[in-house]
Structure 1
Amino acid sequence: MKPLPSLDVLRTFLVVAQKLNFTRAADTLNVTQGAVSRQIAGLEAHLGYALFTRQARGLALTHHGALLVAPLQQAFAQIGDALAKGGAQSGILRVKCPTCAMRWVLPRVIRLQNERPDLVVEVTASVSHGVDFGAEQFDAAIVFGDAPSLKGLTVHHLFDEVLTPVCAPELWKPRKSVAPTPDDLAGKTLLHPTRDRRDWLLWLGAYGYAGLPSTKAQHFDTLDLAISSAMQGLGVTIGDVSLIEEDLRARRVIAPFPLRVASGAAYYLVYPERPAPSQALQQFAQWLDGEARTTRETPGSQTSGREH
């Protein structure tokens, strides 16, 4: 008997079956299109039959592929129910968190654990900015992006993303009695937390700049990696002032420009309305709301300077 494919590969198949497009499936899974294509090709080779036919406008399920969808969806649902029951009995809150938000979340959760040892919170970092409670075994998640509109979710707005350039103190030599402008970034390495450079372009656009002031650049898959590189003095990154408030306070990085620009995206705590949230989850949500309120009220966490 052949060994079973991994749950990750089967989950990828279900997403592709829903989207019928490798690129859109990759966006949902927050991986590359090539990675999705390789997983599907490997699964087809393992099973010995094709799951999709390639067409000019996308994909179509084969007869064999279509037969797999409903049983696999049911299997994932059953696994989710079993793990949810086990998690409820263990008393552990399982929270998914995007890596970019871990700078803000993890120190606070550790402090909570020290203050409330009876409230056990297990945070799992992920490059994904969303969550699928039907397929992923979490009690709650911190998600990033537009306001979640999925039915059946309780949503707590934590704080908005507010962008400004940051770098190591030794990398920035301010000009005396002269306010900094994006021209001061010429010749410096710009660290990009997104492949499309949208964060830098949004902030520069608020200054009236249509392009990048420097041709030197490095790209990263996550904001956390870009910020870590900036702390090492490797360049200037665009950062969310709420996520790096502790780093700014400790002067591990500095924010040389007064302009802060809201991107329109935000961080949210979400969890299913049903089954009813446990008392532990309600307490955690209330506590996290309080932490986020403090962050929102911190000077510099809101937009300032010119409007964009």
Structure 2
Amino acid sequence: MKRLPPLPALYTFLITAQCCNFTRAAEQLHITQGAVSRQIAGLEDHLGYELFIRLARGLELTAEGREWLPRVQQAFALIGDGMEQIGQTHQTLQLKAPSCAMRWLVPRLLQWQRERPDVPVKLTTTLAHGVDFQREQFDAAVIYGTPPDHSLTALHLFDEQLTPVCSPTLLKGPPALLVPADLQQHLLLHPTHNDQDWKVWLKAADLQLSNIGSGQHFETLDQAMSMASHGTGVAIGDWSLIGDDLNAGRLVMPFELKVRTGMGYYVVMPEKQQPSAKLRELMTWLVEQAHRR
């Protein structure tokens, strides 16, 4: 394969071909007319044929020059597109997270953008709890589940701890909400399509309720928490995710019992990936935020 011509010489050819004048090309390139002439002559010598016909009042492309021009234009257009697309990809961190984590994650990402506007983050939400980095183009992900295997670099955020929560107004009654058995008189709100979260907590509380199957189910934790904050009923939620609501007084815990399920939240990336300094900073920052609860 013949050695490729120098890129600066090709760019000089592109500008000169558009101007068909050494002087105007030199003005656009911010070099001397002699430098333009020497670069073109060197390129022609490298290729083995002339690209321009030198005329008294300017230049004219040769047949070879006319064939070269669209190819060089295309090459530099591809380079320009690559710079723009790759630059955007590297500047914006691509993060995936399950919808159940949004109540905790979104306020923190908003804070991150206020503190670090130079490191934007694009968040993709999903009902899925995991991530497949071989098929999904994300820099990192927040996942929910058991501790990840060794194919991922994982930083622990927090463990799931289930507890009932409700609006402060619901505590005033009637009906009463002083002991766990009082839940029998309230509408139970479920953050998923099944009753599993409530069953786990009730088992730990050594309590059976007949109204667990007649509660209201929601698509996401966020929907259940929003309904609970309006006094609709008592929701079962992850204490780790709803700390902001508890601190702000939008929700309260009527009972002290929090039940660990063995599940947790982790921020992960591929084990073999060498993270950028900005990605490492974001992951460390999220862990710090999680530990401030």
Class of the TM-score when normalised by the shorter of the 2 chains: 0.5 to 0.7
CA contact (8 A) 1:201 1:212 kept: no
Aligned pairs (5 A) from 1:1-308:
86=86, 89-149=89-149, 151-173=150-172, 180-213=178-211, 216-295=214-293
Given the two structures, how large is their TM-score scaled by the length of structure 2?
Answer: 0.66
Which secondary structure does the structure 1 equivalent of 2:249 belong to? coil
Could you report, residue by residue, the CA deviation over 1:101-158 in whole angstroms, capped at 9, with x for unpaired residues?
A: 1111111111111111111111122111111111122111000011111x43100110
Q: Deviations over 1:170-201 (max 9, x none)?
A: 122269xx993221112211011222311111
Rounded Cα–Cα distance in structure 2 between residues aligned with 1:146 and 1:212: 31
Cα deviation, residue 214, structure 1: 5.1
Q: Residue 294 of structure 1: SS of its match in structure 2?
A: coil
Superposition deviation, residue 273 in structure 1: 2.4
Residue 255 of structure 1: CA displacement? 0.8
Taking the aligned partners of 1:157 and 1:193, their CA distance within structure 2 comes to: 23
Which amino acid letter does the alignment assign opposite residue 129 of structure 2?
Answer: H
Work out the CA distance in 2 between the residues paired with 1:86 and 1:212. 57
Measured in 2, the distance between the counterparts of 1:227 and 1:116 equals 29
CA offset digits 1:287-308 (Å, max 9, x no partner): 111111212xxxxxxxxxxxxx
- Equivalent position SS for 1:186: helix
Paired amino acid for 2:233: G
Q: Is the 8 A contact 1:187 1:214 kept in 2?
A: no
**8 Å CA contact 1:185, 1:214 repeated in 2:** no
- Indicate conservation of the 8 Å contact 1:188/1:214, yes or no: no
Name the aligned partner's letter for residue 136 of structure 1: E
Distance, in Å, in 2 between the alignment partners of 1:166 and 1:100 is 16
**CA deviations over 1:231-282 (Å, ceiling 9, x no partner):** 1222111011111111111111111111111111100001012331111111
- Please tell me whether Structure 1 or Structure 2 has the larger radius of gyration of its CA atoms: 2
Q: What is residue 45 of structure 1 aligned with on the other side? A: none
How far 1:87 moved relative to its partner? Answer: 6.9
The separation in 2 between residues aligned to 1:241 and 1:99, in whole angstroms, is: 16
- Alignment identity in percent? 46
Structure 1 pair 213–183 and aligned structure 2 pair: CA distance change class (3 A): farther
Normalising to structure 1: TM-score of the pair? Answer: 0.63
Change (3 A) 1:88 1:268: farther
Q: Is the 8 A contact 1:162 1:262 kept in 2?
A: yes
Aligned partners of 1:183 and 1:213 also within 8 Å: no
CA contact (8 A) 1:146 1:265 kept: yes
Q: Note the alpha carbon deviations across 1:74-123, whole angstroms, 9 max, x for none.
A: xxxxxxxx9xx837754111111111111111111111111111111111
Please report the RMSD computed on the Cα atoms of aligned residues, expressed in angstroms: 2.2
Point out where structure 1 has 5 or more consecutive residues left out of the alignment. 1-81, 296-308
Amino acid at match of 1:127: L
The SS at the match of 2:182 is helix
CA distance in 2: counterparts of 1:246 and 1:137, whole angstroms: 31
* 2:143/2:265 contact within 8 Å kept: yes
Output one character per residue of 1:13-38: Cα deviation in whole Å (capped at 9) or x when no partner: xxxxxxxxxxxxxxxxxxxxxxxxxx
2-structure distance, mates of 1:264, 1:99 = 19
Deviating beyond 3 angstroms after TM superposition, the runs of 4 or more aligned structure 1 residues are 85-90, 210-216
Deviation at 1:162, TM superposition (A): 0.7
CA, structure 1 residues 179+275, in 2 after alignment: closer, same or farther (shift >3 Å)?
A: closer
Q: What's the CA shift for 1:212?
A: 4.5
C-alpha separation in 1, matches of 2:86 and 2:151: 22
Instruction: Give, in whole Å, the separation in 1 of the partners of 2:124 and 2:88.
Output: 17
